[in-house]
Structure 1
Amino acid sequence: MNKVFLGIGGNIGNKEKNFNHAYTLIELKLGKIVQKSSVYETPPWGFQAEHAFWNQVIVIETKLEAEELLWRIHEIEADFGRKRGIERYSSREMDIDILYFNDEFMESKSLIIPHPKIHERRFVLVPLVEIAPKLKHPLRRLTSIEMLESCRDDSIIKKIQDKP
């Protein structure tokens, strides 16, 4: 069984409904959710947007290999209306990123694991520290806490919902 950390988030539509629907689709198409951080309200990262995001880190156990997992994540995002290739950063109902896949490093045309921007994003690091403070990044060799402490992102991250 593979242990995978996913970052999920969205800033348009009914966010609570979208998150609940995402949990259902993740369990149906990807694997069992074994842990969830609290949900946090965060500003857009890398672009301007009218609405704040909700973000969360979840852990799943899956039999899928990384490339098939990514393909199924794209299916779930498409269910929420995401169209790939338009803009790198944009408002959306649901975005799902693979943060870690076991403690592996992999790089292909379509996928880099661990996610290459984990250490730059407070909206990922704050919920990650909540559920896995001592988890070590397989390349940087820093824990989640150490990455958060050295993160240059000064975004305000506000807990809006305790662990569901």
Structure 2
Amino acid sequence: MNCPDSLPLTPAFLSIGANVGNKLANIGRALRRLGVTEGIFVEALSKFYKTAPQNYTDQDWFVNAAIKINTAYSPEQLLEVLQAIEKEQDRDGKPFRFGPRKIDLDIIFYGQKVMSTATLVLPHPRMHERAFVLKPLCDIDKNLVHPVSGLTVGELFEQIKTDESQAVIALAKEETREIFY
């Protein structure tokens, strides 16, 4: 995909996660790929968290983080880029919805855009229910406002009951060192 020549950049927030294979190495590969993609500029990265699986719980725990980027891509083009990165790492993809995966990249916010198509809903339709999305977003900007609810991500995180089913456990820096090598 060609990056648009004009560069009006839009801030976007992404969620990244993995629960198959070497989770940290998978995330590291995806982050490096994002970092070298024309038209995407990585601005911030949250801490990394070990998180309980949601919806389908009979699977390994995830490692999750959030990323702030600025991008020249439209939301649909950005989705295509993220899906290509997922496909590079996992040709077969996840076996079923909410199932285990080597890498998962989701657009949580694209500026303050609100949209719903057959392939993309913005902001992410379940982000307000997920501690594994909200806690990392809070690391980057807890005052980021959800364009529909008007609540900040910090306020949305405070509304979630963080019991065992929503466990979000920060990894120590030494545990995440391999991501950057």
Which TM-score applies when normalising by structure 1? 0.93
Q: State the 1:85 CA deviation.
A: 8.1
Indicate the larger mover: 128-137 or 148-157.
148-157
- Partner of residue 92, structure 1: 101
- Provide the C-alpha distance between the structure 2 equivalents of 1:107 and 1:151, rounded to a whole number of angstroms: 24
User: 2:14 is matched by which residue type in structure 1?
Assistant: L
Work out whether 1:37 is the aligned partner of 2:60. no
Give per-residue Cα distances to partners, 1:57-82, cap 9 Å, x unaligned. 00111100000110111111111215
- Partner of residue 119, structure 1: 128
User: 1:41-52 to 2 correspondence within 5 Å?
Assistant: 41-52=50-61
Indicate the larger mover: 143-152 or 106-115.
143-152
- 4+ long deviations beyond 3 Å: 82-86, 161-164
Q: State the 1:131 CA deviation.
A: 1.2
Identity percentage of aligned residues:
32
Q: State the 1:27 CA deviation.
A: 1.9
Closer, same or farther: CA 10–85 of 1 in aligned 2, 3 Å: closer
Q: State the 1:129 CA deviation.
A: 1.1
Closer, same or farther: CA 3–140 of 1 in aligned 2, 3 Å: same
- Partner of residue 4, structure 1: 12
SS in structure 1 at match of 2:34: helix
- Partner of residue 78, structure 1: 87
SS in structure 2 at match of 1:147: helix
RMSD, matched Cα: 1.8
SS in structure 1 at match of 2:171: strand
Closer, same or farther: CA 9–22 of 1 in aligned 2, 3 Å: same
Indicate the larger mover: 150-159 or 86-95.
150-159
**Does the 8 Å contact 2:64/2:132 carry over to 1?**
yes
Which TM-score applies when normalising by structure 2? 0.84
**Unpaired stretches in structure 2, ≥5 consecutive residues:** 1-8
Q: State the 1:42 CA deviation.
A: 0.3
Q: State the 1:90 CA deviation.
A: 0.7
Q: State the 1:48 CA deviation.
A: 2.2
**Does the 8 Å contact 1:42/1:157 carry over to 2?**
yes
- Partner of residue 156, structure 1: 167
Closer, same or farther: CA 85–8 of 1 in aligned 2, 3 Å: closer
Closer, same or farther: CA 107–136 of 1 in aligned 2, 3 Å: same
Q: How many residues align?
A: 164
- Partner of residue 153, structure 2: 144
Q: State the 1:147 CA deviation.
A: 0.4
**Unpaired stretches in structure 1, ≥5 consecutive residues:** none
- Provide the C-alpha distance between the structure 2 equivalents of 1:111 and 1:161, rounded to a whole number of angstroms: 34
Larger Rg: 2
**Does the 8 Å contact 1:37/1:130 carry over to 2?**
yes
